[in-house]
Structure 1
Amino acid sequence: MALVYLRELDNDTRFAIWKIEETAEELLNRLQLDEQEKSVLERFSKGKRTLHWLASRVLLRCLLKTDGFISCPSDENGKPYLPNYPYQISFTHSYDYAGLIMSQRGPCGIDLEIVKDKVLRIQEKFMKPNELAFIQNNNVEQLYACWCAKEAVYKLQGNKGVSFLENMTILPFQYKPQGVMTLILRKDSIEKSFQVYYEKFQDYMLGYVVD
Structure 2
Amino acid sequence: MALEKIVITDTGGWALWKIEEDEETLQRMVGTVDELPPSIHNPKKRMEWFGGRVVVKTIMERLGLSFKGIVKDEFGKPFPKAHDFQLSLSHSYPYVGALIDREISVGIDLEQPQEKLLRVAPRVFHKDELTDAGHDIVKCCIYWCAKEALIKIYGKKDLTLAENLIISPFTRQNEGHILGKIIVKDIETIIPLYYIVYPNFVVVLNKRNAS
Q: Same fold (TM over 0.5)?
A: yes
What SS does the corresponding residue of 2:90 show, helix, strand or coil?
strand
CA RMSD of superposed structures (Å):
2.0
Partner of 2:37: 41
Q: CA deviation at 1:69?
A: 5.3
Q: Per-residue deviation at 1:82?
A: 2.2
- Contact 1:106 1:210 survives alignment (8 Å): no
Deviation digits for residues 53-112 of structure 1 (CA, Å, limit 9, x no counterpart): 001111211111179651310001110012422321101111211111111231100011
1:145 corresponds to 2:142: yes
Q: Distance in 2 between matches of 1:181 and 1:203?
A: 20
Distance 1:42 1:67 in 2: 28
Q: What secondary structure is seen at the aligned counterpart in 1 of 2:203?
A: strand
Q: Which residue is 2:7 aligned to?
A: 7
Aligned partners of 1:108 and 1:69: how far apart in 2?
A: 19
Contact 1:105 1:210 in 2 (8 A): no
Aligned-partner Cα distance in 2 for 1:119–1:46: 23
Question: Does the 8 Å CA contact 2:166/2:180 hold for their aligned counterparts?
Answer: yes
1:99 partner amino acid:
G
1:160 equivalenced with 2:157 (yes/no): yes
Q: CA deviation at 1:177?
A: 1.7
Q: Which residue of 2 aligns with 1:199?
A: 196
* Aligned length, in residue pairs: 206
SS in 2 for 1:52: helix
**Aligned equivalents of 2:40 and 2:107: distance in 1?**
23
Detail structure 1 runs of 4+ shifted over 6 Å in the superposition. none
- CA contact 1:30–1:67 (8 Å) conserved in 2: no
Structure 2 residue 26 is matched with structure 1 residue 30: no
- Deviation, 1:164, is 1.0
Percent identity, please.
28
Structure 2: state its 5+ residue gaps: none
Match for residue 69 of structure 2? 71
Q: Structure 1 unaligned runs (5+)?
A: none
State TM-score, norm by structure 1.
Answer: 0.89
d(CA) in 1 for partners of 2:189, 2:72: 24
Q: Following the alignment from structure 2 to structure 1, what is the Cα–Cα distance between the partners of residues 66 and 23? A: 19
TM-score by length of 2: 0.89
Q: Which moved more, 1:113-122 or 1:72-81?
A: 113-122
Equivalent positions of 1:96-111 (< 5 A) are: 96-111=94-109
2:118 matched to 1:88?
Answer: no
Partner of 1:50: 46
**Counterpart residue number, 2:55:** 59
